[in-house]
Each structure stands twice: as structure tokens, then as C-alpha cells.
Structure 1
Amino acid sequence: MTTSDDTGFSTRQVHAGSATAPATPRATPIYLTAGFTFSDLDESAAHFGTGAGFGYSRTGNPTVHAVEERLASLEGGDQAVLVSSGQAAVTVALLALAGAGDHIVVSEHIYEGTRGLLLDNLARLGIDTTFVDVSDHDAVRSAITPRTKALFAETLSNARNDVLDVAAIAAIGAERGGIPLVVDSTFTTPYLLRPLEHGAAIVVHSASKFLAGQGAVLGGVIVDDGRFDAAASGHLFPHLVQTDRLGGASFAEKHGRRARGAYIRESVAPRFGPSPSPLNAFLIGQGIETLSLRVERQSQNALAVATWLEQRPEVERVDYVGLPSHPHHDLGERYLRRGSGSVFTVTLRGGLEAARHVVQSVRLITHMTHLGDVRSLVLHPQSTSHAARSVAERERAGVFPGTIRLSIGIEDIDDILADLDQALVGVPVAERETVVL
């Protein structure tokens, strides 16, 4: 709209200057707007009819779309959907597959927020969950029922650092009528591991972590492989192959093998509404530009720290898959050829008081609930992330009173080791952990 000096003050304060000169920025522009204008009625009708273009930022935004395209490319997927948090990504992905009366088979070693989502929230919607040790492939097969609509696991377990055999678990789902494997790959990022290349159907990330990298924003992403086979697994997902409620074409008819991703984008994400801020999307996109550099450095630093800690007398055990002592080291070498990531746990001989001493003595390493930051971080899982689990459940996850979780950053390795060295001075060693490998 153009304005002139003869319009009123209130009119000009809203409209003046809204028509900007065309420009071609090198950086992704931030389209921080709730909605977008239409040139005419036909354009708005076409948008609502086919989804072409942009109408409202909850259903699509140019800044968000640019980041989605980049993430889909890095994961080797067909399409990505950016949402407001990693927890939203897990929720949207699972609700795109399962509904009332359905069932999901899930690794017992997952993020506690996801575990609570399954046990407390999705259970209220009539979705049942069976937790299994996914390293036991027979247990996975036995847990599947005719109602099972998805398998879910994380690439590296929290906190034992076990490696998911993506190909093997995906194959089990394929054997049972095309049950999709959904993988949370937050710990590994697409730089270290691309689960879709090994048979997973959907990958999710907390983009707040390594993808953004700076610890400033929240975000999540769902990446679909674009390989939905209506003939093979349409019976599991009637909402993808049946006509819509108005009798129109099904998602499978409209989108073919892209039906599942289209359903996530067009039906689940916008209706449940975990929309990402375009500003957050911009910052996530900026972080992705240095992802490989950061993760490579973090993995190198983490291996050096884990190797150093394994030799310390105060340490009972180090659960880092990059170490030859880890039971999944060989599996890790098969899947994680660029590095083993930066998040792992250390169990101290002195139990809770030893953990307390280290957490409260570090100076460079930050004590906070987060991971994947450029800064090195520490947390005590027993009293925080795993506090809602029983003692037996914690021990199966590799969490004991003396266990601390480290997320190693990009600082100079000598400075990280020096901080841990001074923090270990005076650590109580009288109590020994009961550690079961």
C-alpha cells in the first residue's frame, strides 16, 4: 500500500515504509511475519487449494523453508519439517503414525522427556508403548503386535552410549509389514550418521543442540525418507491411503511415496501448532553452516577427554563408544566413521559425593541442562534427567550415584583437561559404585 501526507497519523504509522526496494541478500532473510499478502483472490484460493506459496507462518515461512531444505539435504531425506523444539519433533512424528488403539515399540534407553511423553501423554490418547533393549533384536521382534505402528530409538543411548544398529532394527520393521523406524539422531547429527541411508523411515532432531550449536534457541526437525509404500504398508496407516473426510483424494493418491512427509507437513504439524519462530529458524540455519567443523572438533576433544578420564584413579568407568573398552565400539566404528560424538558419561568411584564435588568444582565446564553446545557442559543424571526412574531402571541405563554426563565443546583440549584435573582434586574415593556392564 502506498501512503501520502494527506493520510492520517495512525494510518501512516501502520503503512508508511512497508514497500521496500527489491534486494538479493546473501544470508537467508528473516521473514518475521505472521502472514503474507496475496496479489488477488485467485492467488489466495490457489494457496488454500494446493498449498502453493506462503499464506501464514504456521503453515509455511520462507526462512523456515530454507532451513528445512538444508536439513533434508544433509540427512539425505525427501523433506524436512521444522518445529518449535526437539520434543515437538518427536510428538509430531509419532502422532503422524499412531492413534488411539495403536502401539509403539521403543528403546528403553531414551531421553526422559520422550519417555514421559509416551507413558503419560500418548497413553492418555490410547497409544500404548512397550520398552525394550533394542540391542536384543529378538526382544524387538517379540514386542511387535498387530497394533504396532512404529519403532522408536535413539542413535546413541542416554546415558550408556550404546549404538543403535539402525539397519538391523529397520529390517525387523520391514519384515513385519513395513513398520517404520523413527530415529532420534540428536546426539550424532547428520554429519556423523544419516539413519535414512541405513533403512530408517523418519529422523528427528532437537535442533536446539548440535544443529544450532550456540545454545541460544530452541527448535526441532522431522525428516521423512519419501519412501512410503502404500501397497506394502498402507494397511497400517489408513489415514494415508483412505479418502479425506470430504471424499477427496487420499494423501497417497495426491503425493505418492511422499505421502507420509506430506501428512506431517500439512496435517499434523500445523494443526497441533508447534510452529518455529522465523528468527529461531534463521539462527539454526546459521549454526548448520558450521556443523561439520564443530562436531569434528567436539568428537576429537571428547575422545581425548574420555581416554584421559579412563586412566584416572578416581574413575570407575567411562561410557564412551569411541573407546575400545566400550561394548559397542565395533558397532560404533561401523556406523560412526567420522567420530563418536561429544556426549558421554563418567562414573566416579566415590559415588554421589564425588559427583557433587566435580560438578561444583569445574570452572570452565558449565553446569546446566543442555548438550551439543560449543561450550563443555556437565550434569548429574541421577538427580536430574533420570530422577523419575527407579534405581533398577537407572542402573540399566548406566546411571549410578557417581555418574556425571559430559557434553564436550570446542575449547582447547588442554584447557578442558586442566579444568577436570583441578575438579578431581580432593574427590572422595572411599565408596565404590556397583557397576554392572
Structure 2
Amino acid sequence: MTDSHGFDTVQIHAGANPDPATGARQVPIYQTTAYVFRDAEHAAKLFNLQEVGYIYSRLTNPTVAALQDRMAALEGGAGAVCCSSGHAAQIMALFPLMGPGRNIVASTRLYGGTVTQFSQTIKRFGWSCTFVDFDDTDAVKAAIDDDTRAVFCESIANPGGYITDLDAIAAIADEAGLPLIVDNTSATPYLCRPIEHGATLVVHSMTKFLTGNGTVMGGVIVDSGKFDWSASDKFPSLSEPEPAYHGLRFHETFGALAFTFHGIAIGLRDLGMTLNPQAAHYTLMGIETLSLRMQKHVENAMEVAGWLENHDAVEAVTYAGLPSSPYHDRVDKICPKGAGGLFTVSLKGGYDACVKFVDALEIFSHVANLGDTRSLVIHSASTTHRQLTPEQQEAAGAGPNVVRISIGIEDPKDLIADLDQALKKAS
């Protein structure tokens, strides 16, 4: 698909050519581990990256490849690598960039699991992370040092729905000669295209809005193809000879697709964070209705958030679509089709009221997920952000009096009625 095609067309057709063997119109599930080589020379060329094709499904699979093509087209990237989860995508994105003693600069407003991954888990690789309020651009600049290898943020932050000024952050990263990695899970490419705002890499938990039905897990890294990995000596995995491929230089050999090829040939080969073909199939089907669902998510979120903001039991609502939000002026710039379906509600009754509220809801499902067709709710401080310190919880927008709400595509009047009866019980 080309840039001349509209989003609604791309979300259905990109990567979905009729099956060459059978003519099947929907992308088949290629449930196979390996592929027969034409001959010994063909096999050797594939393993030496001299020819593109299928070797082993830990690396490449036709169903997964179709999803990669679709995600690259939707995000406006040069290529994409799918993997087993959103968390896997984050590690896969960092893997070619980092090394012992290197660090990243990340926003304080991130999903709690990401904060834990960046503050604790990556230490085991010898990496570190400095967390900064990305609304303070001077602080972002000050946090970058000679060992920084990436800047990381979310387009619409989970849980609060805060919108990042991607253009301002991209300018800082560009000045420092660093890639900007943007988690676009909450926005999806329908609401936000981070590459158009200067992002180098875009990651997703495809488990959420992209699949949209809470059935399978998956992650993806979309490569803009625009970063010059050879402009400095900071990224030797991409610019210097690779011993495992007889001295091949990924950037010199593959150009705009250097990161994508590295993600498959090194990342999936050695980390093994593979997406299974059945999950890729479900995600492909989910994406076919992405624009329709996101429009409804946004419409419902606007109506529900506006109602909640005027409720006596509610202290504050963080939805950026509301005129009262300090991030409202970023909606037209960063997310012109709407502020998404995710936000938080602060209750006047504090922690106890939040617990009673969550327990009293009937239509809303109490689950550790977001982006489903169903409306979902969770008390972040006691669940998804439980591992964080109180200070980290507050910085992430997940304090003890805060409930995260993911608005689905049900009738908004039913959602409001459910929220109303639960708030009365919580009060």
C-alpha cells in the first residue's frame, strides 16, 4: 500500500495479498516451524542475509510478515518487527542500541510495568534509566549525557491519558543525535502517527486497541527508516561489522531497513521473543476495524468523561479531550482525531472509595488490560503500579485515589448508569 491510500483502506489491505498457493483472500495461518529450501545454495543465501525469505518461524513467518507490513504501512514506517508482547517490543527496541553502562531517558508518565522494567529489570543488562517529567523540556535536555542511547515516552500516557508534545521531545533527541522511541499503544496509528512528529521507532502492545478484543498478546517495533545509525560511534551494532554475519554492517548493507533486519536476524534469532502465527492472524483481523472502533472509543470517552467531571463524588478527570485538561491544546496537534479512550478518575473518598467503586461496577470489567471493545476498570495503585514507590505512583498519575478507566464501544448511556450506581455505593 502507498501513502496515497486512506487509513481505512490500508488497515484492511496492507500485507494481505491473496495467498499465492490457494488464492485465499484472508491471510492464512501458516502454522509451521520450518520451510523447505529450493536447494543448498538457496539455504546458504538465506542464512547469510543475501536473500530474503523464510527459514524458521522464530525468525520469519508469512502470517507474521503480513502483520509487520500492515503495521509499517499504518505507522508510515520503513519496516516492522513483531514479537510476543509489548514488553518484548520495548526490550527488542533497546537491544541494538544499548550496552553495559549505557542509559535511556524516559518519561515519568509511563505504564507501571514499563517503569518497573526500566527502573529494575534492565539493570541486569548493565543498562539504566533516568526518569524525567517530559513537560519540562529543560529537564529532559539535562538528563541526557554521553552514555544516553535513547529517549522514550508514550504518545498518550497510560494511565492518565496525558498527551506528550512529541515534536518538542523529538527536537531534543535529534539535537543529541539520539533515537526517540514512542510507545503508541494507547493512541494507535489512527489517532497519532509519531513518526510524523520525529519519532525514530514506534512500539506497541498489540494486545490492546490494535487487536481490540482481549484474545491474544503481541508487540511490534516499527522502524521509521530515517535515523542515521552511522552518524556517530554510539550504535556499533548497526554501524560496525557484525561478527555473526562475517563482518556485515547492517546500516551500510540495508540502509533504511537496518534496524528492521537487525531486529529479525539478531533480535528474534537470539532473544526468541517470537509472535505466534495464530496471534498474528487475530491481530490482523482486529486491525481491519481499528478506525471504526477508535472513533467510537473517542466518542464514548468524551461523553463519559464529561459526565464524570460534573459528578459530586469526583475530584478530577484526566481526559485530554476535555477543555479543562492542561493537555487539551495538544489534541489537535498530536492526536487530531481525538484523545483516545483512556483516562483516570480521582475520587474524593480516596483509596477506600476507589476499591468500593471498582467492586460495585457491573458492566465495566475489572481486569489488568485496556483497549478492549468492553469497558474496563482498574485501581492502578494496588495493581498495575503496585511495585512503584508512592512518589513514582504520583508521578505516573496513579495515586491511591485514582481509578483507571478504559472506555469501550458500548452504549454510553449504559456506561454512565453503571458508573452512577457504583459511585453512589462508593460514597
8 Å contact kept, 1:227–1:258: no
Once the two structures are TM-superposed, the CA of residue 153 in structure 1 deviates from its matched residue by 0.7
Once the two structures are TM-superposed, the CA of residue 172 in structure 1 deviates from its matched residue by 0.6
Please state whether the residue corresponding to 2:101 is helix, strand or coil.
Answer: coil
Distance 1:393 1:248 in 2: 44
Counterpart position of 1:85 = 85
Task: Within 5 Å, give how 1:183-198 maps onto structure 2.
Answer: 183-198=182-197
Distance 1:235 1:377 in 2: 46
Distance 1:396 1:244, change over 3 A: closer
Distance 1:22 1:148, change over 3 A: closer
8 Å contact kept, 1:187–1:372: yes
Distance 1:271 1:243 in 2: 17
Counterpart position of 1:16 = none
Counterpart position of 1:151 = 151
Which letter does structure 1 place at the counterpart of 2:60? G
TM-score by length of 1: 0.90
Counterpart position of 1:237 = 235
Task: Within 5 Å, give how 1:273-422 maps onto structure 2.
Answer: 273-422=272-421
Verify: 1:128 aligned to 2:128, yes or no.
Answer: yes
Counterpart position of 2:163 = 163
Once the two structures are TM-superposed, the CA of residue 171 in structure 1 deviates from its matched residue by 0.8
State the Cα deviation string for residues 96-116 of structure 1 (Å, max 9, x = none): 211112111111111122222
Cα-Cα RMSD: 1.4
Please state whether the residue corresponding to 1:345 is helix, strand or coil.
Answer: strand
State the Cα deviation string for residues 1-38 of structure 1 (Å, max 9, x = none): xxxxxxxxxxxxxxxxxxxx941101000001111112
Counterpart position of 2:118 = 118
Distance 1:231 1:274 in 2: 27
Distance 1:371 1:230, change over 3 A: closer
State the Cα deviation string for residues 253-300 of structure 1 (Å, max 9, x = none): 211232222212221122100101100000000000000000110111
Distance 2:140 2:186 in 1: 22
8 Å contact kept, 2:96–2:237: no
Counterpart position of 1:62 = 62
Counterpart position of 1:5 = none
Q: Which moved more, 1:321-330 or 1:36-45?
A: 36-45
8 Å contact kept, 2:77–2:223: yes
Task: Within 5 Å, give how 1:137-148 maps onto structure 2.
Answer: 137-148=137-148
Distance 1:63 1:407 in 2: 29
Distance 2:108 2:253 in 1: 37
Distance 1:22 1:240, change over 3 A: closer
Which letter does structure 2 place at the counterpart of 1:238? P
Which letter does structure 2 place at the counterpart of 1:375? R
8 Å contact kept, 2:158–2:186: no
Once the two structures are TM-superposed, the CA of residue 247 in structure 1 deviates from its matched residue by 4.9
8 Å contact kept, 1:108–1:132: yes
Once the two structures are TM-superposed, the CA of residue 396 in structure 1 deviates from its matched residue by 2.5
Distance 1:97 1:197 in 2: 22
Which letter does structure 1 place at the counterpart of 2:85? S
Distance 2:314 2:154 in 1: 26
Once the two structures are TM-superposed, the CA of residue 157 in structure 1 deviates from its matched residue by 2.1
Counterpart position of 1:11 = none
Counterpart position of 1:12 = none
Distance 1:133 1:316 in 2: 23
Counterpart position of 2:227 = 228
Counterpart position of 2:101 = 101
Distance 1:244 1:395 in 2: 43
Distance 2:307 2:341 in 1: 14
Once the two structures are TM-superposed, the CA of residue 395 in structure 1 deviates from its matched residue by 2.1
Stretches of 4+ moved more than 3 A in 1?
none
Verify: 1:215 aligned to 2:214, yes or no.
Answer: yes
Counterpart position of 1:48 = 47
Unaligned runs of 5+ in 2: 1-19
Distance 1:93 1:231, change over 3 A: closer
Q: Give 1 or 2 for the bigger CA radius of gyration.
A: 1
8 Å contact kept, 2:86–2:218: yes
Which letter does structure 2 place at the counterpart of 1:250? R
Distance 2:181 2:40 in 1: 40
Q: Which moved more, 1:212-221 or 1:350-359?
A: 350-359
Please state whether the residue corresponding to 2:426 is helix, strand or coil.
Answer: coil
Distance 1:211 1:387, change over 3 A: same
Distance 1:380 1:35 in 2: 44
Work out which structure has the larger RCO, using CA pairs closer than 8 Å and 6 or more positions apart in sequence. 2
Once the two structures are TM-superposed, the CA of residue 408 in structure 1 deviates from its matched residue by 0.5
Q: Which moved more, 1:98-107 or 1:278-287?
A: 98-107
Which letter does structure 1 place at the counterpart of 2:336? R
8 Å contact kept, 2:74–2:189: yes
Distance 1:231 1:391 in 2: 41
Task: Within 5 Å, give how 1:165-180 maps onto structure 2.
Answer: 165-176=165-176, 178-180=177-179
